[in-house]
Amino acid sequence: MDLDLSPDEADMLSGAAGPGCQLAMRVLTRTARAMGATRLRPISGAHIDSCLYHGQAGVDFAQRLVDGDARVVVPTTLNVSSLDLIHPELYRGDAETGRAARHLMDLYEQLGCEPTWTCAPYQLEQRPKLGEHVAWAESNAIVFANSVLGARTHRYGDFIDIAAAITGRVPDAGLHTDDGRLATVVVDVSQLTPTLLSRDVAYPVLGHVVGARVGTDVAVLTGLPKGTNEDRLKALGASMASSGTVALFHAVGSTPEAPTLDVALGGQEPQRTITVTMADMRAARNVLSTADAASGPPLRGISLGTPHYSVTEFERFVDTLAGRRIAPGFEAYISTGRDVLTELELRGWADALQAAGVQIVTDTCTYITPIIEDRPGPIMTDSAKWAYYAPGNLGVEVLFGSLEDCIESAVAGQLVYDEAVWHG
C-alpha cells in the first residue's frame, strides 16, 4: 500500500534532518505500511517505554539515535526504568546490568525526553486532552489515555514509541481513527453485587476477567456505577492490558466516549455480549493468587503501586493504616512516580510512612527490578498486574487481596483476609 508523505516527512526519510531522524522515520513508515495506513498523522506528545533495560539491543538502538543527532520534537515523558535513582540502595541486581540500565536512561535524556520515570504519566500535571493524538507506550498508560482521557494512541512498543517522538508522527490507523475506537463487544457486569462494586478490589479483578475474554477487541462495559473514579478505571484498564491486549475500553456513564451504550457502539449491534458473574470474579481472584495460604510458607510482605500509586491512593493507604506500624521483619513496598513523592513529602506523608516501616519505591517497579529480598514466603498485592507478572519475572509466590487485606496483614505480620465481599 502506498504511503503519502508530506514534503517534511519525505525530507526526514531521505536523511535531510540527520541520520538519527532518518532511522526513526524508516521505523515509522514501515510500521505504517504494516498497519495499512496511507498517511502519517502529527502528534502532540509521547510516552516512552524503550528506556526500560531489556538487553544490549535497546542500548545500541538508543546510542545510534543519539549518535545520529536525533532529538524528540514533541513533549516526551519516560516510563519506569530498571533503577530507582532516588533510592539506589534498594537495587539487588547484577552490577553490570545496573550500569547498562543507567546508561540507557542517560541516552534517553540526551534525546530530549523528560526524566519522569513513571508508568502513570497521566498523573503528571500536563496530560493529553479528549481527541488529542499522542504516541504512548506502556500498556496501562495506553489504556488510560484512550479510555479515561479520551486521547488517541495506538498500542506502541519498543522502538516505535521513540521513533514517533523524534518524527512527531504516527501511522493514521487503528485507534487514531473514529471507526477504530468503536466498541464491538458489550460486557454486562450488572450481576455483580453493589457491595462488591463499591470496593476498590473489584476493579483489578474485573479487568482480569474482561481482558482474558476480550483480547484485542474494544469493549464497552454496562452496569458499572456511573462516574467511576480514575483510580478504579486505572486498575480496571491495567489488568485488562495484562490478561489481554486491551488498549481501549468504554464504560457507560464513566468514560468520555461512552455517554450511552449506543454512542460507544456507533449505532451498530455488538459482535458479541459477555456477562460477568460473581462466580467469574471469585475464579479470577483465585487465579491471581499463586500461593497456598493454608499450607505454604507464611506471608512475608506486601507490594502495592502497580501501576504507580496516585496521591489519592496514598491518602487511602494513610487513612487505613491509621498511625499503626508494619510488623517487625515484614516487608512493605509502594511504587510511585517522583512527582507524587514530592507531594507526599509536602504533606508529611513520606516521613510518616517511612517511620511506619513502609518503603516507597520510585522510578521503577518491584515486579521488574530486583528490589524485594529473595527469601521464602509469598508477597501480597492489591494489583492484578503485579500478581500477573511477578511470579514469572521474580519467581515469587503471590497472594491477591484488597488494600485493607494488605494493610491488616502487614500490621499483623501474618495473613488477614476478608472473604465476605466475594459472596453475594
| 187 in the same domain as 161 | no
Q: What pLDDT does residue 295 have?
A: 80
| 165 in the same domain as 31 | yes
CA distance linking residue 224 with residue 254, whole number of Å:
8
| 110 in the same domain as 220 | no
202-214 pLDDT, tens per residue?
999 999 999 999 9
Could you tell me the pTM of the whole model? 0.96
| 146 in the same domain as 249 | no
Strands (E) in 131-241, as ranges, are 135-136, 169-171, 185-188, 219-222
Residue 218 in domain: yes
Q: 373, exposed or middle or buried, with CB in 10 Å at 0-12, 13-18, 19+?
A: exposed
Of the residues 220, 255, 286, which one is the last residue of a structural domain?
Answer: 286
Q: What pLDDT does residue 292 have?
A: 85
227-265 pLDDT, tens per residue?
999 999 999 999 999 999 999 999 999 999 999 999 999
Does pLDDT of 424 surpass 90?
no
How many domains does one find in the chain?
3
| 233 in the same domain as 380 | no
Of the residues 136, 159, 178, which one is the last residue of a structural domain?
Answer: 178
Q: What pLDDT does residue 132 have?
A: 98
**Mean per-residue pLDDT, 392-410:** 96
| 212 in the same domain as 134 | no
Q: Which helix (H) or strand (E) holds 27?
A: helix 19-35
**Mean per-residue pLDDT, 145-172:** 97
pLDDT band at 124 (very low <50, low <70, confident <90, very high): very high
257-309 pLDDT, tens per residue?
999 999 999 999 999 999 999 999 999 999 999 998 778 789 999 999 999 99
Sign of the Cα torsion 253, 212, 309, 51 reads: negative
| 280 in the same domain as 169 | no
| 131 in the same domain as 21 | yes
| 149 in the same domain as 187 | no
Residue 257 in domain: yes
Residue listed under C-alpha cell 507524587:
340
| 187 in the same domain as 314 | no
Q: What pLDDT does residue 91 have?
A: 94
Residue 2 in domain: no
| 264 in the same domain as 326 | no
Q: What pLDDT does residue 1 have?
A: 59
Task: Give the rounded percent of residues in the chain with a pLDDT score beyond 90.
Answer: 95
CA distance linking residue 239 with residue 385, whole number of Å:
5
CA distance linking residue 20 with residue 107, whole number of Å:
13
Per the prediction, the chain carries an average pLDDT of 96
Q: Which domain holds residue 43?
A: 7-178
Q: How many CB atoms lie within 10 A of CB 160?
A: 22
| 396 in the same domain as 332 | yes
